[in-house]
């Protein structure tokens, strides 16, 4: 499609979006009967008959069709001008380059706005989501899963929020993998500001997408809606750490509705930040303890060794917090004695003891008789 025809198609899509009551589901239905938005807009009278009665009744009975068309086209011109003046690209639901996995869902965005490399959507994608305030264990698991899955050829999708989202994006970038950030505002809007540097890195090595017009501010009602895009782009959704009211559970709900896999990292009964994860497991989500569980569930052929080499592991350890190092060691061994931990980490015994106590209170580790420690199951 040449640039002129794409703008014409964009205009027609915006015309439909300007009609009150016509949302993504209705517009997807239009494309079941018409090859593109432009041809559908030229046949508006018949198109409106395809839409749900509650969406079209007011227009067909209360407002003259000519007025509906004029009002919609006026609003569409404003939107198109705004898009063309911005530093933002777009892809239409009617175009072959639109992400195929997203086309499958019931409510795909008629227009996707993006910055970065759209081609990463052609890779197999997995979403990693979770709380904005993760525990050290949640941080460690998010890093491990994002890193290992990226090495297996997956593009990691998340929402560029603080916490698990940002940790997952960053982990992928560190191993030069592909990542997609789905935002609840315009892709040209920096939000949250704490992730501004991360956002710039993603622009150079991944993709930022949104269904909202350039310049759209971040408002709370937009974020639950964007979660359907996170799951829609993905083969499955991994919930690393989530409380009972976490937005990550909304993403998991969308995933189930879209016939996607839902994977969950478990927590102990006393860890409130994992209460949502445990609830998902009760509902049938796949319990995972590492990347192997994800790959097995997907019947995925391993492309690269999952265990990183010792040199890289040593480099990574230097950037970990003390809690991260403890978790990493206890993952390798069934249990370790206090003195073994001290020797392997080379840290002051008083600092180690106080950290272990904090981790025990948080439910991350369990102290066994004889001053041995292990990760809490």
* Neighbour tally for 123: CB within 10 Å: 14
Cα distance between residue 270 and residue 14, in whole Å: 49
- Categorize the per-residue pLDDT at 212 as very low, low, confident or very high, splitting at 50, 70 and 90: very high
Higher pLDDT, 51 or 356: 356
Model confidence pLDDT, tens digit, residues 117-162: 999 999 999 999 999 999 989 999 999 999 999 999 999 999 999 9
202 contacts 158 by C-beta, under 8 angstroms: no
Token pair of 160 as six digits: 């560029």
Phi first, then psi: give them for residue 328, nearest 5 degrees.
-65, -40
Higher pLDDT, 339 or 312: 339
CA dihedral sign, ordered 364, 366, 372, 374: negative
> Looking at the domain that runs over 310-375, which CATH code has it been given?
1.10.10.10
- Which residues, in sequence order, are CB contacts of 140 under 8 Å at separation 6+? 323, 324, 327, 328
For range 262-287, the mean pLDDT: 92
pLDDT at position 58 is 55
- In the chain, where are the structural domains located? 3-85, 118-297, 310-375
pLDDT at position 188 is 96
DSSP tag of 120: G
118-297: CATH topology is Rossmann fold (3.40.50)
pLDDT at position 53 is 62
Cα distance between residue 26 and residue 3, in whole Å: 26
Model confidence pLDDT, tens digit, residues 170-184: 999 999 999 999 999
For range 4-9, the mean pLDDT: 95
Task: Give the rounded percent of residues in the chain with a pLDDT score beyond 70.
Answer: 92
Q: In what order do the strands lie in the sheet with 261-264?
A: 89-92, 111-116, 207-210, 179-182, 155-158, 125-129, 236-239, 261-264, 286-287
Model confidence pLDDT, tens digit, residues 229-240: 999 999 999 999
Phi first, then psi: give them for residue 36, nearest 5 degrees.
-160, 175
Token pair of 266 as six digits: 């478990």
Dump strand ranges (E) for 240-364: 261-264, 286-287, 336-337
pLDDT at position 180 is 98
**pLDDT for residue 318 is more than 60:** no
Place of tokens 């072959």: 96
């Amino acid at each position: 499609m040449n640039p002129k025809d794409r703008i014409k198609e964009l205009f027609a899509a915006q015309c439909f979006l300007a009609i009150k009551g016509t949302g993504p589901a209705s517009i997807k239905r239009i494309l079941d009967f018409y090859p593109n938005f432009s041809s559908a807009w030229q046949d508006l009278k018949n198109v409106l008959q395809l839409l749900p009665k509650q969406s079209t009744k007011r227009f067909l009975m209360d407002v003259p069709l000519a007025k509906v068309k004029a009002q919609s086209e006026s609003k569409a011109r404003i939107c198109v001008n705004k898009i063309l003046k911005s530093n933002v690209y777009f892809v239409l639901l009617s175009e072959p380059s639109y992400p195929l996995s997203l086309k499958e869902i019931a409510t795909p965005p008629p227009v996707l706005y993006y910055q970065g490399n759209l081609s990463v959507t052609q890779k197999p994608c997995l979403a990693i989501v979770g709380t904005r305030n993760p525990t050290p264990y949640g941080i460690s698991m998010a890093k491990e899963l994002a890193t290992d899955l990226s090495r297996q050829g997956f593009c990691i999708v998340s929402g560029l929020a603080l916490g698990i989202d940002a940790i997952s994006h960053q982990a992928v970038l560190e191993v030069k993998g592909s990542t997609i950030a789905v935002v609840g505002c315009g892709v040209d809007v920096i939000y949250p500001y704490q992730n501004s540097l991360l956002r710039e890195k993603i622009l150079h090595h991944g993709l930022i997408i949104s269904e909202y017009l350039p310049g759209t501010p971040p408002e709370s009602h937009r974020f639950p809606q964007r979660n359907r895009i996170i799951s829609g782009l993905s083969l499955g959704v991994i919930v690393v750490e989530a409380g009972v009211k976490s937005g990550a559970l909304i993403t998991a709900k969308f995933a189930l509705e879209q016939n996607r896999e839902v994977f969950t990292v478990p927590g102990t009964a006393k860890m409130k930040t994992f209460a949502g994860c445990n609830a998902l497991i009760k509902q049938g989500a796949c319990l995972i303890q590492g990347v192997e569980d994800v790959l097995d569930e997907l019947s995925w052929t391993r492309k690269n060794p999952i265990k990183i080499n010792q040199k890289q592991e040593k480099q990574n350890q230097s950037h970990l917090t003390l809690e991260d190092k403890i978790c990493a060691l206890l993952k390798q061994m069934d249990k370790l004695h206090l003195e073994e931990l001290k020797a392997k980490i080379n840290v002051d015994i008083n600092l180690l003891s106080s950290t272990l106590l904090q981790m025990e209170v948080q439910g991350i580790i369990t102290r066994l008789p004889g001053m041995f420690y292990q990760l809490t199951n």
